[in-house]
Chains A and B, each alone.
Chain A
């Protein structure tokens, strides 16, 4: 695939999705970046903002297999990955047959992932990380591309099982779905509720998504950009000399190296989307927010004072930029 095709496909995807989704341009773009970077997304937003519709629309325009799991406290791992059941063939022979779970899809919407038990969560998270499922004594590959869009409801957190930090790290991006503006709300309201009847063009397929991922991996990154990404990660750690004052005061743990990899992987996709053949510092800085906000763990003082991760990320970016090359 050529770079020009890449940018064109992405442009068309955004346009096509925009027919169904009103507003949320950033969310759409970042979701596509995450998809093309080979990562998974954690969406946080109140119900009714189009999270499910977004994933469904993407799967439609890309001709990808879509599945949805509604996480509840009684959900079991087998409900996600599948299980073996006894089945009888025509000749009357009985055997265990594996019934794949909903995880065997190209695009999976894990709705309210924080409502399921940690045991169930880990089953999904393992699949996300390894792209395989182990059931019984057999490991099964998940279809490619495999993309998980998990959601969390910031309201009604009582009785839920927040994802542990180590698990949060597996999501490439955490996107905050904001409530639409007035104009956007008017557009949403005006739209026909039966949105699924809207005809959407097939822009690409799974194979093209994989080709786009491969192309994105080839995008070069200069040493200057890599160094900036490294400094950003270091500056997120309160014990490091690069860390700004507020990080030292409010952060318990900083981002892991996976955060740096996320920055560069996403940066490559963004560069191609903009018609460039190299990652720029601007890419790193723009993508720092979705890539790092769920990787920076606040301490008690930070949580008590209601400090947002995005504020700290702004300080970190400023501190990293001020360091001399």
Chain B
């Protein structure tokens, strides 16, 4: 509809009406083309930017291509010509200001003005509006639109170098949603247990899981999700360590009260010639004497969190073998923060070593000068950036399937990788721990060279011939001790969270 200006005359408006329609059609066509040109040019820019930065541009491109013409039409509507403007356009086509003058003077009466108006109407009626105002495609906009279309089509056809990254992000987001559900299930179980018997550690674990769920929901990328998982792991690890310590103290008291004088407080006692694990009253990770349920709940929570990490890394295409969790050396995440590196997963029996350069845990010190008695000593273990297991003695692992060195000795490093933040995995350099008993194959014994670490040492006098004559111990026997020592150390010392994860994961993987 034509806009009515300050000047208006019904008769002239009626005479101008067919021309007004044509003018409006051309006007909206021009604006539509401008909108399309703007939309496609913006789409080209967005597409180019999506080549440089990994973001999902498709939606924006579609919105821009559709939205800009609509916006342009709205703008065109607000700027549509009025009747006076159309009159001026007609005057420019040969009527020599007749119509515009008549419109301006439409309210004035005089002989000359009446003659002028009649003259204007006469010329307007014979004016060939069809010829002068035929709807035409504007050339300039047409050319620009065609160019933009071609460029857009070309860019859409070209593969997006950021597509793998985008796919990864999509997969990570989906996996986050899946893991949130899994964590929800674990949380529900914990809540059920909590209803039956309340405990502070379990409550804290539930809170930790809830916080993890929230953080995962807010996480925008893998890096943030892994950070959230690390925080949850740290919290749960601390809860577990505290719970185990409590259990250890409880067990220690109960053993002492049962008259077992050979057992020290710290309780990393060797068996008396037996390679059986120590009594059930002794501390072993995950086996709290009086609070098995709490510990198992905590373990369940930890496991769920670790599984989340592994699943996210898998979704992101992290080639962690055995689905390891764990972080990079020194507790730092790898470049790009995308992933932690490969360390082994706790769930796989065929563990690889932690890919950390740091030493694992282990007790330090030796036992009575032998090649390594496992067991005594708590080691700090952490903070040593060497490749040796600081544990004492041997026996920290036995046998590898592939002839690799014994456990705890990690050769290699995780290097921070490049590009997308994932580490450059070179698994051939990792030394893996295989316990033939676990995987049911025959293999060579895996020996660990004991080396005194920096932690405190504890000695225990023993006449056990197995110990005296042979420093080898099945790693399962010493594992609990080493594990506990490591956990205690983690709880006491200020250790970076990532490093704690490494240690924790390492022992978790051995335990399975």
Contacts and interface: CB of A to CB of B under 8 A. Distances in A.
Contact of A218 (B98, B104, B112): B112
Contacts, number: 53
Given A218-B110, A220-B105, A225 B115 contact: no
Interface in A208-261: 215, 218-225
Contact of B115 (A3, A223, A325): A3
Residue of B91, B97, B115 with highest tally of chain A CB at under 10 A: B97
A224 B100 contact: yes
Nearest to A284: B97
Contact of B113 (A215, A220, A224, A276): A220
A280 B88 contact: no
Contacts of B105: 220, 222
A281 interface: yes
Query: Quick one: which of A215, A219, A276, A325 has the most chain B CB within 10 A?
Result: A276
Interface in A267-294: 276-282
A281 B88 CA distance: 11
A276 B119 contact: yes
B112 A220 contact: yes
Nearest to A222: B101
Specify the main secondary structure of chain A where it touches its partner: loop
Most chain B beta-carbon contacts within 10 A, residue among A218, A220, A277, A278? A278
Interface residues of B, number: 19
A215 B102 CA distance: 18
Contacts of B101: 220-222, 225, 278-279
Contacts of B116: 219-220, 277-278
A10 to B, nearest CB: 17
Given A276-B96, A276-B98, A280-B97, A222 B119 contact: no
Given A276-B119, A277-B119, A224 B97 contact: yes
A132 B115 CA distance: 36
Given A222-B101, A222-B104, A276-B119, A282 B96 contact: yes
A246 B148 CA distance: 40
A321 B115 CA distance: 28
A286 to B, nearest CB: 12
A300 B236 CA distance: 93
Nearest to B102: A278
Nearest to A221: B101
Interface in B110-166: 110-113, 115-116, 119-120
A197 to B, nearest CB: 42
Interface of B: 88, 91, 96-98, 100-102, 104-105, 108, 110-113, 115-116, 119-120
Interface of A: 3, 215, 218-225, 276-282, 325
